[in-house]
Amino acid sequence: MLWKKQKQEKRTMSPKKTTVVGIDLGTTFSAIAHINEDTGKAEIIPSPEQDRITPSVVLIEKVNDIIVGEIAKQNAVAEPNKVVEFVKRQMGKPKEDKKDEQGNILVKGWSFEHEGKKYSAQEISAFILKKLKNDAEERLGTMITDAVITCPAYFGDPERAATKEAGVIAGFNVLAVIDEPVAAALSYGLDKLKQDQNVFVFDLGGGTFDVVILEIKGGKIREVVVNGDHLLGGKDWDDEIIRYASKIFKEKYGTYPLDDLSAYQDLQLRAIKAKEELTKREKTKIMCVHAGNTLLVELTRDTFEEITKYLIDRCKVLCGIALSDANMTWQDVGAVLLVGGSTRMPMIRNMIAEISGKTPSDELNPDECVALGAAWHAAMLSISSGDMPVEVVKRLAGVEVQKVASHNLGIIALDGDGNERNFLMIPRFTPLPFEKKDIFKTLTDNQTSILLRIMEGGIMGENDTCDPLDCNMIAQGSIRDIPPSPKGSPIEVAYKYNDIGILEVHGIHLPSGKEVVITVEHTGGLTAQEIKAATMNIEKASITS
C-alpha cells in the first residue's frame, strides 16, 4: 500500500523576485541552499515537511505521478519495481548500450523502465532537482532559475555533462557544475581562505568517494590533485551489513534473503539504520524477514569494521596516491576536512587520524556543507547582476576557484605504423580552463569529413600514447563540410576543456581559413530534442513528497 502525504497549500510567489541557489545532488540525499539576504549567510532551504535534506529516491507511480524523498524511500520495500535509488552512480551512461560495427559493447547503457517508458539517469535526477526547486520556491516565495549544482570531483566529462542536462530538464539555468570538495572548502569558511594552507578533503558520500588536495593561497582555491572512486560510498558499507545478515539467516533457515527483491529492500533500510546505530553504540540487531521466517541478527562494531576493512583499505590507498601525485606528505597539509554523511562512521575518523596524525576538522556538517558551499559559489557567479547584498559582495571579494582535469583526455589517431592509439590531449591535473590545438590531415583527396573519438583515462606511455582498450570513449564527433582539397590538407582542431570540466571542440580548415563544423556527442548525453521532450514531460508531471 502506498503511503502518501497530503499536499500542502502553496505560498504565493513574487514573479519579480528571483533567488540563486546551490544544490548538492547526492547519491542518497540531496540538499538546496541560498544566501539569506538579511543575514548574509548561506542557509539550507528546508522542505515543507521541515526536512533539511531530501532522500535521492524516486517512485514513479504513473507516468506523470512522481514521488521524491522519504515516502519513496519507505515504499521501496512494498513496490521495489517502481522505485529508483542511487541513480547518481548511473550518470553519464546512455539509455542503450553503445556498440561498434561488430556488435561489441563500447559503453554500457542504463535506464529505468516503468509502464513501457524508459527513463535516463538525467531524467530521474531531474525529478529530484525539480522537487528541490519546487520546495525552495514555496518556502522562499520567489522564482528560482539560476543554480550551481555539485558533483564528485572524480566525475569525468560525461557525468558532468549529464548533471548539467538534469538541471536543464528540471528548469534550471545551470551556472556551473562544481566539485563537491571545493564547495565544502567554501563552506568551511571564507575567513579561513585568507590563511595560506593546503587542505585535504576526504569526501565519502552515500555512493561516491573523492580525495582532493586544495591549495588555498591569497583567497584563491586551487585544486592540486583529484582522486577517488565514483563506485565507492556508504552504500558499500550497507551492502556488507546486508550480506552478513543474509549469510547468518541462510545458515539457520536454508534460504537466502537476497534472492527476494522485497526482502533485500527491507534489509537495505535496516542496514542503514544499523550503520547509524553503530556510530554511537557498540552493537545492534538487524531484523531479517524472509520466506515466512524472522531472525534477529546481532552485529557488533568490531564485526562491522572487520567485514568492511577492505573498503577502509581502498580509501587509504587512494589517500596515499593523492598525496604522492601532489608530491606532498601529511606534514604539508594544514587542515583535513571530512565531507559526506558516511564520514560519521568512527572507523573513518579513526583511520584518517591514524594515517595523517591530524585531528579532522569538526566544523562542517557533513550532510549540508556541500549545498552551503554551492550557494556561496552561486553568489560568486551572480555578483555582476547587482542583486547580491553589499556584505556578501565584500565577503566574496578576491575569492576564486580553479578546477583541474580529473582524468587524462585523449583522441584516437593513427601512429607512424598505422595502428590506432590514444594520443594524450589534456593531461590529468591540468588547471582549467585549458585549450590545446592539434593538426589533423586528410587521408584522401577531397575528403569531406574526419571522425573524432575522444577518450578518457588510461596511463600514458611512450610518446604520450596508450592502448585505446585501456580507456573509456566519452564522446565522438565529426569534422564536416571540409572544402575540396588534396590529401594531407591540414585541419586545426582546438580542444577547450572549460572551467566546469566539459569539453568543447572547434576546427579550422587551414588552406581556406574556413571554420568547419564539429559535432561532439557525449556517449551518455541526451540530444537537444530529448532534453526538450524531457523538459516538457517534467513540466506536466506532479512531483510530490
Task: Please give the pLDDT value at position 4.
Answer: 41
Q: Is the backbone peptide bond immediately before 433 cis, with ω within 30 degrees of 0? A: yes
Q: Identify the CA nearest to 408 among candidates 474, 481, 324, 328.
A: 474
Q: How confident is the model at residue 6 (pLDDT cuts 50, 70, 90)?
A: very low
Would the pLDDT of 218 be above 90?
no
Is 65 tagged catalytic?
no
Architecture of the structural domain at 14-192+363-403+529-544: 2-Layer Sandwich (3.30)
Which has more confidence, 199 or 481?
199
Task: Please give the pLDDT value at position 221.
Answer: 92
Q: What is the pTM of this model?
A: 0.91
pLDDT digits (tens, 9 = 90+) for 352-367: 999 999 999 888 899 9
Q: Identify the CA nearest to 239 among candidates 210, 274, 209.
A: 274
Chain-centroid distance of CA 400 in Å reads 22
Q: How far apart, in whole angstroms, are the C-alpha atoms of residue 155 and residue 166?
A: 15
**Segments in 29-147 forming alpha helices (H):** 70-74, 121-140
Task: Please give the pLDDT value at position 15.
Answer: 53
Q: What angle do CA 374, 312, 459 make, to 5 degrees?
A: 75
Would the pLDDT of 196 be above 50?
yes
Q: How far apart, in whole angstroms, are the C-alpha atoms of residue 511 and residue 40?
A: 56
**Residue spans in the chain of domains classed CATH 3.90.640.10:** 234-307
In the set 73, 82, 85, 88, the catalytic residue is: 88
% the chain with pLDDT above 70: 95
Q: How far apart, in whole angstroms, are the C-alpha atoms of residue 269 and residue 307?
A: 19
The type of residue at 80 is P
b/e per residue 108-143 (b: at least 16 CB within 10 A): ebbbbebeeeebbbbbbbbbbbbbbbbbbbbbbebe
What mean pLDDT comes out for the span 268-293?
Answer: 96
Task: Please give the pLDDT value at position 12.
Answer: 56
What mean pLDDT comes out for the span 472-487?
Answer: 85
Task: Please give the pLDDT value at position 519.
Answer: 63
pLDDT digits (tens, 9 = 90+) for 86-137: 999 999 999 998 887 788 887 889 999 999 999 999 999 999 999 999 999 9
Is 415 tagged catalytic?
no
Q: How confident is the model at residue 17 (pLDDT cuts 50, 70, 90)?
A: low
DSSP 346: H
**Residue spans in the chain of domains classed CATH 2.60.34.10:** 409-498+502-524
**Superfamily of structural domain 234-307:** ATPase, substrate binding domain, subdomain 4 (3.90.640.10)
Is 24 tagged catalytic?
yes
**Segments in 256-343 forming alpha helices (H):** 261-280, 301-307, 309-325
Residue whose C-alpha cell reads 579561513 in the numeric block: 192
pLDDT digits (tens, 9 = 90+) for 300-334: 999 999 999 999 999 999 999 999 999 999 999 99
CB-neighbour burial class of residue 492 (10 A; exposed 0-12, middle 13-18, buried 19+): middle
Q: Are 249 and 297 in contact (CB under 8 A)?
A: yes
Would the pLDDT of 13 be above 80?
no
Q: How far apart, in whole angstroms, are the C-alpha atoms of residue 139 and residue 13?
A: 9
Would the pLDDT of 522 be above 80?
no
Q: How far apart, in whole angstroms, are the C-alpha atoms of residue 119 and residue 532?
A: 14
**Residue spans in the chain of domains classed CATH 3.30.420.40:** 14-192+363-403+529-544
DSSP 181: H
Is 229 tagged catalytic?
no
Residue 125 grid coordinates: 535526477
Chain-centroid distance of CA 246 in Å reads 31
Task: Please give the pLDDT value at position 303.
Answer: 98
In the set 61, 123, 137, 203, the catalytic residue is: 203
In the set 180, 236, 266, 456, the catalytic residue is: 180
Which has more confidence, 185 or 519?
185
The type of residue at 468 is P
Q: Are 409 and 381 in contact (CB under 8 A)?
A: no
pLDDT digits (tens, 9 = 90+) for 144-182: 999 999 999 999 889 999 999 999 999 999 999 999 999
Q: How far apart, in whole angstroms, are the C-alpha atoms of residue 124 and residue 59?
A: 10
CB-neighbour burial class of residue 438 (10 A; exposed 0-12, middle 13-18, buried 19+): middle
CATH number of 409-498+502-524: 2.60.34.10
Task: Please give the pLDDT value at position 9.
Answer: 47
Q: How far apart, in whole angstroms, are the C-alpha atoms of residue 336 and residue 198?
A: 9
